[in-house]
């Protein structure tokens, strides 16, 4: 059975949005018979994360949270995984980190230590949102421009597509959104530069032919 573990801290606007957009992927996982381990809010701590990783060895790991070049945090920024400390916990996994900069160093060292693939952002992940939608982030059309590709990437992998195909789908969605807003005459067209930034820094380390084999 394929196992999917996601960390979903929620302690500020950024993590709240990432958490809700990621939660939507659980329905896709369940409809494909994939078991989900949801480390939500306080459960997104290092002890719980390492415990679940070691006990159940999930095939697919999605890390939502703040990060840096060599680490990714959980709830209230407790470090869950960091380079040179515990990245071997990702051995044999497909990993996606929606977290700033971590694909830079942690992505590389995770793959060196045996992760099948580590996809993420090698610089800051930037998105815009409308605070009036804080209580219903999935209806935020501005945030959707920036987070839709991420959800699509996860869902494509959950459907059994290869890393390469899933990444291409996500990149195409970002390009589609860039073209869409550049063709409008509203002030939203100014957001294009930030979508280009996210596209430029969305990178993968490791095997691109791998998949979850659903």
Residues at the site binding other proteins, with contacts judged by CB under 8 A: 12-14, 17, 66-68, 99-101, 124-132, 142, 175, 178-179, 182, 187-188, 190-194, 196-197, 200
**Angle ∠(201,202,208) on CA atoms, nearest 5:** 135
Shortest Cβ 110–other proteins spacing (Å) = 19
Residue 142 or 210: the one with the smaller Cβ distance to other proteins is: 142
Shortest Cβ 188–other proteins spacing (Å) = 8
CA distance 14 to 55: 30
Residues 6+ apart with CB under 8 A from 135: none
Residue 30 or 190: the one with the smaller Cβ distance to other proteins is: 190
CA distance 206 to 204: 7
Shortest Cβ 67–other proteins spacing (Å) = 7
Residues 6+ apart with CB under 8 A from 12: none
Residue 57 or 179: the one with the smaller Cβ distance to other proteins is: 179
Residue 112 or 124: the one with the smaller Cβ distance to other proteins is: 124
């Amino acid at each position: 059975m394929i196992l999917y573990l996601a960390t979903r801290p929620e302690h500020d606007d950024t993590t709240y949005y990432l958490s809700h957009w990621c939660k939507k992927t659980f329905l896709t996982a369940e409809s494909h018979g994939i078991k989900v381990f949801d480390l939500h809010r306080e459960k997104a701590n290092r002890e719980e994360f390492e415990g679940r990783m070691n006990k159940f060895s999930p095939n697919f790991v999605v890390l939502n949270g703040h990060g840096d070049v060599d680490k990714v945090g959980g709830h209230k920024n407790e470090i869950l995984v960091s380079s040179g400390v515990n990245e071997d916990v990702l051995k044999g996994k497909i990993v996606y980190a929606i977290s700033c900069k971590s694909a830079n160093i942690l992505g590389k060292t995770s793959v060196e230590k045996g992760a099948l693939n580590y996809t993420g952002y090698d610089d800051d992940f930037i998105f815009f949102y409308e605070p009036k939608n804080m209580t219903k982030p999935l209806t935020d059309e501005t945030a959707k421009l920036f987070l839709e590709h991420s959800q699509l990437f996860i869902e494509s992998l959950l459907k059994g597509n290869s890393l390469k195909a899933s990444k291409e789908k996500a990149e195409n969605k970002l390009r589609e959104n860039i073209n869409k807003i550049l063709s409008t005459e509203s002030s939203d067209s100014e957001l294009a530069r930030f979508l280009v930034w996210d596209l430029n820094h969305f990178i993968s380390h490791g095997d691109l032919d791998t998949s979850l084999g659903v």
